[in-house]
Structure 1
């Protein structure tokens, strides 16, 4: 059975098929890369992996809200947005 590996940011923004989709959707590759690196840096700063079902230390269950808010800011600013 084949093992799946997620793309790195470098691989994703340089992949020819992804670049074609970004071009068709009017996504600026540099803006997308900047946003992804910013999110990765914020995740490293938090130094933990949150699952959608997990609770924060305060018990609120908002573990991924900081990621979602970044996508909202990018959309509002007319920058690249990505969803999986």
Structure 2
């Protein structure tokens, strides 16, 4: 290899190293920003909310069934 080729390779390696260090710094900065934006999930509260929603859905289903029974009773009255 010529002296010029070795010098070009050295410059390219230095550029790659600078680019890598810059990328690593940006990645680190972005991860810090992201970690500050993430809320901690309280799984107990989440489970409680899911259970409440399921209970509410069950109650609504029971009400719908009761309404259907009442409608059927009304239909039977007019037959």
Same fold at TM > 0.5: no
User: Which structure has the bigger radius of gyration?
Assistant: 2
Between Structure 1 and Structure 2, which shows a larger proportion of helix residues?
Answer: 2
TM-score normalised by structure 1 residue count: 0.27
Q: Which has the higher contact order (CA 8 A, sep 6+)?
A: 1
